[in-house]
Amino acid sequence: MFKLTALVPATALLISLAACGTAPAPLAPAPQGAVQNAEPAGVDPTGQPAGLGAQALPVNYRVRYIIDSVQSTDTEDVSGADEFYTLGTLAVQKPNGVKVSRSFLNAPPIDVNDHAGEIHQLGYVMFDEVVPANAEVYGQMAAYDEDCAKDWAVVGASVMATANTTAATISSLTGQAYVSGIVGAATGILNVFMSGDKDDVLGNAGLMSVTANGARTSAATLHMFKNGSWYSNWNYYIKYHVEIKATTNKPTL
């Protein structure tokens, strides 16, 4: 598996299901002068070790975006097999206003068949960084069916270089406009390396936005499809999740 990521330094930029449960039983009345606390003794809900007091290291958060699986019940290729790969960008908006981004390319492609809706387990890491508390992370991802064979070592390097350059060029943009602009430019570079039949864009969608302010895991599914065509339709389900864990490690972005 060839995997490239690109980091845009902060100095280069000033620039991306329902829960169920039961209600907790009410706490018994606290003795006069005592303070009720739903947290177990010695546990800090931020994840900071107890007992360190003023000497404790600042709490940061490790944030990971991971593609878990892809399932197709109808491939773009009428023969029933696609060559699937993904490209995208995650951006971090820090509390101090500084914006940085990291792009990813999961290639070469894997074969995805639509036989009985087969599920392909992936485990692709889109983003894995330590960010400051209260940083916002958001992103954009595009999925493709490869129709034109490529030298991915060469293509990948060019795609990541373009992502870096574009991130600096469009630093004045914010939110989804920013990450969409980076992904769009990277897609344009892909087309330069294609002759004849271009790769099919199966879909282009925003990834969930999270704020690094507490440990949790969230999951989502992207539904990418096309129907009503006389020739080629497709139907894809891409599952991914986001992990946020407290850490005293220094930010990597």
- Give the model confidence (pLDDT) of 97-127 as tens digits: 999 999 999 999 999 988 778 999 999 999 9
Residue 100 forms part of a structural domain: yes
Rounded average pLDDT over 53-62: 78
Give residue 180's domain range. 3-16+56-247
Residue 177 forms part of a structural domain: yes
> Phi then psi for 74, rounded to 5 degrees?
-160, 110
Per-residue confidence (pLDDT) for residue 197, from 0 to 100: 78
Residue 37 forms part of a structural domain: no
Residue 52 has pLDDT above 90, yes or no: no
pLDDT digits (tens, 9 = 90+) for 222-232: 999 999 877 78
Least confident of 91-100, 109-118, 212-221: 109-118
Residue 217 forms part of a structural domain: yes
Per-residue confidence (pLDDT) for residue 39, from 0 to 100: 34
Distance (Å) of CA 112 to CA 81, 201, 204, 224, 234: 6, 15, 18, 14, 12
pTM assigned to the model: 0.77
Q: Are 186 and 4 in contact (CB under 8 A)?
A: no
Residue 101 forms part of a structural domain: yes
Residue 242 forms part of a structural domain: yes
Residue 188 forms part of a structural domain: yes
Rounded average pLDDT over 57-63: 93
CA-based nearest residue to 86, from 125, 118, 47: 125
Per-residue confidence (pLDDT) for residue 80, from 0 to 100: 75
Q: Reduced to 3 states, what is the DSSP secondary structure of residue 214?
A: coil
State how far the Cα of 113 lies from the Cα of 116, in Å rounded to an integer. Answer: 9
Strand order in the sheet with 136-145: 3-8, 99-113, 81-93, 136-145, 200-211
pLDDT digits (tens, 9 = 90+) for 155-180: 999 999 999 999 999 999 999 999 99
Please tell me which residue, 197 or 15, carries the higher pLDDT value: 197
Residue type, 200: D
Q: Per the structure, how many domains does the chain have?
A: 1
State how far the Cα of 99 lies from the Cα of 68, in Å rounded to an integer. Answer: 27
Residue 34 forms part of a structural domain: no
CA-based nearest residue to 212, from 70, 85, 58: 58
Residue 9 has pLDDT above 90, yes or no: no
Q: Which of 5-19, 67-81, 163-177, 235-249 holds the top average pLDDT?
A: 235-249
Residue 21 has pLDDT above 60, yes or no: no
Provide the sign of the torsion angle of the four alpha carbons 45, 46, 52, 55, taken in this order: negative
> Phi then psi for 24, rounded to 5 degrees?
-65, 150
| High-pLDDT (> 70) share of the chain, % | 78
Give the distance, in angstroms, between the CA of residue 91 and the centroid of all CA atoms in the same chain.
9
